[in-house]
């Protein structure tokens, strides 16, 4: 009888700013210390050994999962000192067959203690890899951990329905006509090729037959449109070939018009 009555009564025990409720809630008006008797913050966790200092898990069996999203926030209005060696890892773990890490964000030092980068990780079977990185300069790499000096470096095939490049006159200076565009185009060989997908699997090259130019050859003719990636590989700014083609077509048309203007002599 007493047990039944206790199950119907919500009771509070107030002691030193801590409020316990029978429904499982815990309210603390002061500070909470774990492995410390002198907490300096609202929640102060001290882990003397080299293991996980803080973990939040849900171990209830079943397939329903959590309703909504799980959120973990580290917020500061001043300087934040990590003290976690070379970086801090926030990860999502699935205990169904594991524990297995299925996703996470890793904040790592880049150079000294005042610089850092972010790695965004996912798991695909046995592989737990960094899929995207933002370095200390804000450069973003997708499919690579080395964006180099590029604001966006993508390793793999991309798709877009539309896109524009800035070309306003107010941003340009030292504007001159392209010198001998037809001669430049005639020196460039167009080729059909297949990417070495097996040899360079990490590049995620597309399958099938493709058309283009060879950067190593173009560099000898138009070094302005060839650049090297962070690993030394050469790349061509294909869009910059278009204005050279426009100039070449105009030059070719001029030659055609000159030929048309020459009086035709009749042959008897």
pLDDT score at 166? 92
The number of domains in the chain is 1
Burial class (CB in 10 A: 0-12, 13-18, 19+), 236: buried
Mean pLDDT of 33-61: 71
Q: In the predicted model, is pLDDT for residue 220 greater than 90? A: yes
Is 225 contained in some domain?
Answer: yes
User: pLDDT over 90 for what percent of the chain?
Assistant: 38
Q: Flag whether pLDDT at 4 surpasses 80.
A: no
Task: Tell me how far apart the alpha carbons of residues 12 and 31 are, in angstroms, rounded to a whole number.
Answer: 19
pLDDT at 36 over 70: yes
The verdict on whether omega for the bond into residue 99 sits within 30 degrees of 0, i.e. cis, is yes
pLDDT for residue 9: 37
CB atoms closer than 10 angstroms to residue 120: 14
C-alpha torsion 231→234→238→244, nearest 10:
140
Query: Phi, psi (5° rounding) for residue 170?
Result: -65, -15
Beta-bridged to residue 19, according to DSSP, are 14, 27
HEC states along 111-125? Answer: CEEEEEEEEEEEEEC
Residue 204's domain comprises 174-261
pLDDT tens readout for residues 166-216: 999 999 999 999 999 999 999 999 999 999 999 999 888 999 999 999 999
Residue 148 lies in a domain: no
Q: Give residue 8's pLDDT.
A: 36
Rounded to whole angstroms, how far apart are CA atoms 193 and 209?
A: 6
3-state secondary structure of 27: strand
Q: Bridge-partner residues for 16, per DSSP?
A: none
253 in a structural domain: yes
Q: What does the radius of gyration of the chain's CA atoms come to, in whole angstroms?
A: 32
DSSP-derived 3-state class of residue 221: helix
Asked if the structure places residue 267 within a domain, the reply is: no
Average pLDDT over residues 145-150: 87
Under 8 Å between Cβ of 237 and 223? no
Chain-centre distance for alpha carbon 79: 25
- Per-residue model confidence (pLDDT) at position 31: 83
**Is residue 210 domain-resident?**
yes
**Cα 186 to chain center, whole Å?**
39
C-alpha 218/C-alpha 88 separation (Å) is 44
Note the pLDDT tens digit of each residue in 154-164.
988 888 899 89
Contacts of 182 (CB under 8 A, 6+ apart): 247, 248, 251, 252
Q: Is the Cβ–Cβ distance between 209 and 194 less than 8 Å?
A: yes
pLDDT at 88: 67
Among 60-64, 135-139, 248-252, the minimum mean pLDDT is found in: 60-64
More confident residue, 139 or 128: 139
Average pLDDT over residues 135-160: 89
Residue 231 lies in a domain: yes
Mean pLDDT estimate for the chain:
78
Q: Is residue 212 part of a domain?
A: yes
Asked if the structure places residue 16 within a domain, the reply is: no
Residue 218: Cβ within 10 Å count: 22
Q: Are 53 and 45 in contact (CB under 8 A)?
A: yes
Half-sphere exposure in the Cβ direction for 217 (13 Å, CA): 11
């Amino acid at each position: 009888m007493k047990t039944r009555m206790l199950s119907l009564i919500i009771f509070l025990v107030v002691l030193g700013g801590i409020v316990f409720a029978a429904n499982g809630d815990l309210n603390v008006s002061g500070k909470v210390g774990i492995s410390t008797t002198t907490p300096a913050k609202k929640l102060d966790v001290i882990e003397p050994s080299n293991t996980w200092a803080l973990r939040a898990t849900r171990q209830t069996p079943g397939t329903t999962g959590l309703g909504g999203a799980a959120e973990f926030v580290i917020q500061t209005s001043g300087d934040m000192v990590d003290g976690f060696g070379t970086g801090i890892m926030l990860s999502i773990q699935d205990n169904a067959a594991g524990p297995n890490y299925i996703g996470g964000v890793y904040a790592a030092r880049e150079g000294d203690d005042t610089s850092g980068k972010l790695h965004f990780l996912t798991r695909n079977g046995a592989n737990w890899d960094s899929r995207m990185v933002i370095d200390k300069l804000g450069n973003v790499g997708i499919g690579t951990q080395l964006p180099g000096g590029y604001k966006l470096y993508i390793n793999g095939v991309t798709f877009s329905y539309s896109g524009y490049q800035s070309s306003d006159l107010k941003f340009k200076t030292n504007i001159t006509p392209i010198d001998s565009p037809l001669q430049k185009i005639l020196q460039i060989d167009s080729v059909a090729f297949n990417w070495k997908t097996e040899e360079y699997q990490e590049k995620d090259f597309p399958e099938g037959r493709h058309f283009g130019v060879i950067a190593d050859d173009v560099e000898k003719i138009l070094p302005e449109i060839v650049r090297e990636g962070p690993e030394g590989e050469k790349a061509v700014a294909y869009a910059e070939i278009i204005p050279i083609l426009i100039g070449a077509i105009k030059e070719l048309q001029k030659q055609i018009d000159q030929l048309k203007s020459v009086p035709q002599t009749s042959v008897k």
